[in-house]
Amino acid sequence: MRKWKRVRLYIACVGVSIALLASGCGSQKAATVEEKYIPVEVQPAAVQTLVETTSFSGKVSSDQDLSLTPKTPGKVSSVNVKVGDSVSVGTVLFTLDSSDFQKAVDTASVGVRNAEANYQLTKEKIDLAKTNLDRQRQLYEAGAISKSQLETFENQASETPLQMAQIQWDQAKLGLQQAQDSLSNAVVTAPAEGTVAAVNIKVGEMASNAQPAVTLTQLNSLYVALNVPENIVNYIKPEQEAKVTIASASAQEISGKISSLAPSADGKTMLYAVKIAVDNPEGKIKPGMFAKVDMPTQSRPNVLAVKSEAVVTKNGKTMVYVVENGTAAEKEVTTGLDTGALVEITKGLNPGDSVIIKGQTLVDQGSKVKVVGGNAS
């Protein structure tokens, strides 16, 4: 009897244990089912203005680079500036050996005096021949000389030699003026204020017009030169603002403005040349520096937009997921302008829809979701 009592007690304990275990497992399963959801972050679709910004690379240049060469080749006798010097109008940049130029002036001066003397002598001869011609005409009329003799005196009184002497005198004066100009050009001065960007001559070398001797640049009149393709050129216009970043001069953005836009493409590159004027008050920007230019190229005012990452493609369809009553709902949409950060929605959404912007690749139609981030309203 005791044995059967122990067996029945053991069986009863086992049964209770199984019942308790089953009850616990059921509770755990129910809890698991209850907590099954996909965490998402949402943001409401909103009406706003979209601006597409396109980045370009360019190079800084001066709007007024002056490459100076001597008008007359000659040996350099002095160089008065160095790279980086600021110069004003009339500053002497370099000089050439003037000895040869002075000799040319002296020789031309002698030529002018000789031509003038020849002119005066010729004039005196012709004046005398004219006086003599009047007497000879009286003799001819009196029958004292023949017609051929009279013509000889007429030829002597011709002003043709005087005209030739005048031409020679004018040519001599022109030669003297040219020689004086060459002497004057031996001193090369700055035609405008600026900064010396390059000096390509040394004392004792020959300077010619084949290569710039000194280059001046104006650091307060700089621009970024860049090229844009045909699908961009019609979206920009002169006076339009742009953001310029020149890393070697400043880490901050610089405000720029389109100062020039080519009306036609370059024949080789098929790109359109653009100049972006930039201010340089501190003088840190130098010609030749590389620049990054961000320009607004398209704009859409008052359009419905969502974050670009919210848009997904499934089964060849473009769609977004919105949260409706705790579940994900597919919305097939039509998109417009994509700025990279935001995308225009032209069809398929309404303002205020709670669009899933994180977790959208994990959900399907009807998936149970829980908003853990963002703003659903």
pTM: predicted TM-score of the whole model, two decimal places? 0.54
What pLDDT score does 31 carry?
43
The pLDDT-based confidence of 77 (bands split at 50, 70, 90) is very high
Distance CA(183)–CA(185), nearest Å, equals 5
Q: How far is residue 74 from each of residues 101, 109, 342, measured CA to CA in Å?
A: 9, 21, 65
3-class secondary structure, 88: coil
Position 214 pLDDT exceeds 60: yes
Position 364 pLDDT exceeds 50: yes
Q: Chain-wide mean pLDDT for the chain?
A: 85
Report the candidate in 282, 207, 277 with the shortest Cα–Cα distance to residue 64: 277
Q: Is 91 exposed, middle or buried (0-12, 13-18, 19+ CB in 10 A)?
A: middle
The arithmetic mean of pLDDT across residues 90-117, rounded, is 89
What pLDDT score does 261 carry?
94
Q: How far is residue 285 from each of residues 55, 83, 192, 245, 289, measured CA to CA in Å?
A: 20, 16, 20, 11, 7
Residue 171 neighbours by CB under 8 Å, 6+ apart = 115
Q: What share of the chain is helix, strand, coil (3-state, %, to 5)?
A: 30, 35, 30
What pLDDT score does 250 carry?
79
Position 25 pLDDT exceeds 50: no
Place of tokens 């006076």: 239
The arithmetic mean of pLDDT across residues 80-104, rounded, is 89
Is the Cβ–Cβ distance between 97 and 191 less than 8 Å?
no
Q: Which two tokens stand for residue 15?
A: 């049964």
Exposure letters 134-163 (e unless 16+ CB within 10 A, then b)? eebeeebeeeebeeeebeebeebbeeebbe
Q: Which two tokens stand for residue 360?
A: 């959208």
- 3-state per-residue secondary structure call for 261-308: ECCCCCCCCCCEEEEEEECCCCCCCCCCCEEEEEEEEEEEEEEEEEEH
The pLDDT-based confidence of 195 (bands split at 50, 70, 90) is confident
What pLDDT score does 151 carry?
78
Bigger pLDDT: 350 vs 185: 350
Q: Is 262 exposed, middle or buried (0-12, 13-18, 19+ CB in 10 A)?
A: middle
Q: What is Dmax (Cα atoms) for the chain?
A: 198
Distance CA(176)–CA(179), nearest Å, equals 5
Give the least confident one: 52-61, 64-73, 252-261, 361-370: 64-73
The pLDDT-based confidence of 369 (bands split at 50, 70, 90) is very high
Residue 215 neighbours by CB under 8 Å, 6+ apart = 65, 66, 67, 68, 196, 197, 198, 200
pLDDT digits (tens, 9 = 90+) for 110-157: 998 999 999 899 888 888 878 887 887 887 777 777 888 877 877 887
User: Which residue blocks in 142-159 are alpha helix, DSSP H?
Assistant: 147-156
